[in-house]
Structure 1
Amino acid sequence: MRNNKDAMSSHFDLGNFIRDHFASLCAIAFKITGNSEVAKDLAQDVIIKFWENQGQHKQLDSIENYLFIMIRNEALNYLRGLSREKNRHEKASLNSEQEESLWDTIIEQEANQLLQTAIATLPPQCNRIVELSLTGKNTKEIAETLNITVNTVKVLKSRAIHKLREYFSRNDIWIEF
């Protein structure tokens, strides 16, 4: 490596300056970012920034130390930017999931309302059997609750489903049973 006076005099020749410093800047940036393409871009950015402001660097004791600090800062800024971008994407994804969940809830409530309206049109015994079915009771439990036979529950439940299908068909509502 050349001494500082040689480095300062050579920094007026961009080609030599790049040959002297590009590879080491890339190596440092790669070590921090883990990405060789990003490391090359960052090294190029540092060289350009240094070159554009070369008049301010005449009093430097060590160009290499200064370049090391510049490349380290650029690499860390790059990583911070990635982190911020990742956080933005996660928040956007979370908002999208919450929005989907909200729409699912709205659709479910509308479907439940349509179903309740349709159930209200059923004869009282069919209505009661469907309501008990929706609470999770099985055929035997419904029969015991209403004090009727299991076969009666099956027949009335089948009629209720048939009438609900007719109701939804008449009202252009598609629901799968």
Structure 2
Amino acid sequence: MQGDKAVKSNHFNLESFIREHFASLCAIAFKLTGNSETAQDLAQDVIIKFWENRQQYESLESIENYLFIMIRNESLNYLRGLAREKKRYEKVSLNNDREDSLWDTIIEQEANLLLNEAIAGLPPQCKRIVNLSLTGKNTKEIADELDIAVNTVKVLKSRAIHKLREYFLENDIWIEF
């Protein structure tokens, strides 16, 4: 029976302790973190830590001052943890960007090798026209350089593209022209 009174007394004391300090701890934590849910979690953590070790604090002159220091420290630790997490995320994101860039480079090089291999199998005149097209020259410039008619360039370029498509289809390679 005596034990029940002690439990009820401790329960009542904890309840009144929470009523007395929770709101002010939440307000301080909110001011520091800017997040009400985080502030409530931190205030709850501080109350639990204080309550579990309350025997150590019996000689304190001001519980409120001590709780203020505890909630401030918990809030600052939380913010430091967020900053560390953000830095880690940025590093991971930067590494992912580098990896993506590396993969893009590898894929581009592989595509270039496949394209060069396919172009190598074209008839000589078609090969020249495709290579000149890849350097950015238009049909008229290619015709002037090779000293052939514009229509001939168009026909040979069309045949070359057709043969390249066939090559890629035969080798089960998807490429867009």
TM-score of the aligned structures, taking structure 2 as reference length: 0.87
Report what 2:16 is aligned to: 16
Q: Give the drift of 1:144.
A: 1.5
Report what 2:60 is aligned to: 60
Once the two structures are superposed, residues 33-58 of structure 1 have per-residue CA deviations (whole angstroms, 9 ceiling, x without a partner) of 11112111111111111112222222
Q: Give the drift of 1:155.
A: 1.3
Between stretches 113-122 and 90-99, larger displacement belongs to 90-99
The answer as to 2:148 corresponding to 1:141 is no
**Aligned to 2:59, what secondary structure does the other structure show?**
coil
Number of residues of Structure 1 aligned to a counterpart in Structure 2 = 167
Once the two structures are superposed, residues 116-152 of structure 1 have per-residue CA deviations (whole angstroms, 9 ceiling, x without a partner) of 0010011111111100100111111111111222112
Q: Give the drift of 1:68.
A: 0.5
Which whole-Å CA distance do the structure 2 matches of 1:98 and 1:166 have between them?
35
Which whole-Å CA distance do the structure 1 matches of 2:166 and 2:29 have between them?
70
Once the two structures are superposed, residues 54-99 of structure 1 have per-residue CA deviations (whole angstroms, 9 ceiling, x without a partner) of 2222232211111101101101111111222222222222222222
Unaligned 5+ runs, structure 2? 1-9
Runs of 4+ more than 3 Å apart: none
TM-score of the aligned structures, taking structure 1 as reference length: 0.87
Code of the aligned partner of 2:116: Q
Q: Give the drift of 1:170.
A: 2.3
The answer as to 2:150 corresponding to 1:153 is no
Q: Give the drift of 1:29.
A: 0.8
Report what 1:6 is aligned to: none
Code of the aligned partner of 2:78: Y
* Aligned alpha-carbon RMSD (Å): 1.8
Report what 2:92 is aligned to: 92
Report what 1:75 is aligned to: 75
Which whole-Å CA distance do the structure 2 matches of 1:47 and 1:171 have between them?
69
Report what 2:40 is aligned to: 40
Code of the aligned partner of 1:160: A
Q: Give the drift of 1:28.
A: 0.7
Unaligned 5+ runs, structure 1? 1-9
